[in-house]
Amino acid sequence: MSSSVQRALHILVELSSGPLTISELGRRLDVHRTTSLRLLRTLEEERFVRRTEDGRYRIGPLMAALSHEALEGFDLRTAAYEHVRALGSATGHTVHLAALDGDSIVYLDKVESRQSIRMYSYVGARAPLHATGVGKAILAHLDPQERETLLGTPPYRGYAPNTRTDPDDLAADLARIAEQGWALDDFEHEEFIHCVAAPIKGVTGKVDAAVSVSAPEVTLDRQGLLGLVGELTSTAEAISEELGWSRT
């Protein structure tokens, strides 16, 4: 790929998070102002970007239209479909795909366990952010102010004896999750079911979805559950890459 095309694509990725000035783009991309200006003018002519009245640049109408068309035929569940089924097949336990929806999470997909004991969860069901593995995996990567808004006034509702209802306790747990890259639901939503969950990242690195493996304690102990973390995080990364996320 030519360097000009690559830089132009990087500009579009940066602008996807909001309007920026030429100087701000230059600093983020480590390119000279004249280079940024030349690329922006070309993108503006083709309606991929638009210059606002205050001199900043934002995503333009053509880019927005292309994004809309792409999303019409491609969504998170589509991107994750084969991956969550491969994870279910590899682990033999219940796999959930969930996304942030308002102040809770909603299950978008589910792979049933091969065990005789089944979970009652279903696609379309909602669950709390602070008491589920998928919810905490998402919360750990949100801006603190956004997190507080979603969680509301503490103490948070308890669903099981281990639910983290204290804000400081939850904050410490979320810090650990952000550092290690995965979350543990230690019987916090349901008393006899635990799970591990990992965040799914979009093209800009934003996290608003997660994937998990859940099991009743009688079919999978703590050591066995934690032994699935490697397979889980690899699946989350594969889904993220399907959505356009890249390590670099």
pLDDT attached to residue 2: 64
Assess whether pLDDT exceeds 90 at residue 122. Answer: no
pLDDT of 14-25, one tens digit each? 887 788 888 888
For 88-134, the DSSP string reads HHHH-SEEEEEEEETTEEEEEEEE--SSSS-----TT-EEESTTSHH
Mean of the pLDDT values across residues 221-245?
96
Mean of the pLDDT values across residues 53-79?
75
CATH 1.10.10.60 fits 3-71, yes or no: no
The four Cα atoms 110, 111, 114, 115 give a dihedral, to 10 degrees, of: -20
Q: What is the mean pLDDT of the chain?
A: 90
Assess whether pLDDT exceeds 90 at residue 66. Answer: no
Listed residue (96, 75, 83) closest to 138, CA to CA: 96
Listed residue (61, 59, 64, 53) closest to 40, CA to CA: 59
**What CATH number matches the domain at 76-242, 1.10.150.130, 1.10.1740.10, 3.20.20.80, 3.30.450.40?**
3.30.450.40
Mean of the pLDDT values across residues 37-43?
89
3-class secondary structure, 183: strand
Q: How confident is the model at residue 228 (pLDDT cuts 50, 70, 90)?
A: very high
Mean of the pLDDT values across residues 42-54?
88
Q: How confident is the model at residue 121 (pLDDT cuts 50, 70, 90)?
A: confident
Residue ranges covered by each domain of the chain: 3-71, 76-242
Q: How confident is the model at residue 73 (pLDDT cuts 50, 70, 90)?
A: very low
3-class secondary structure, 180: helix
Listed residue (230, 220, 152) closest to 187, CA to CA: 220
How far is 171 from 179, CA to CA, in rounded Å? 12
Assess whether pLDDT exceeds 80 at residue 5. Answer: yes
How far is 225 from 85, CA to CA, in rounded Å? 18
pLDDT of 78-92, one tens digit each? 999 999 999 999 999
Q: How confident is the model at residue 67 (pLDDT cuts 50, 70, 90)?
A: low
User: Which residues is 50 bridged to in the sheet?
Assistant: 58
Assess whether pLDDT exceeds 90 at residue 173. Answer: yes
Note whether 172 and 197 are within 8 A (CB). no
pLDDT attached to residue 69: 54
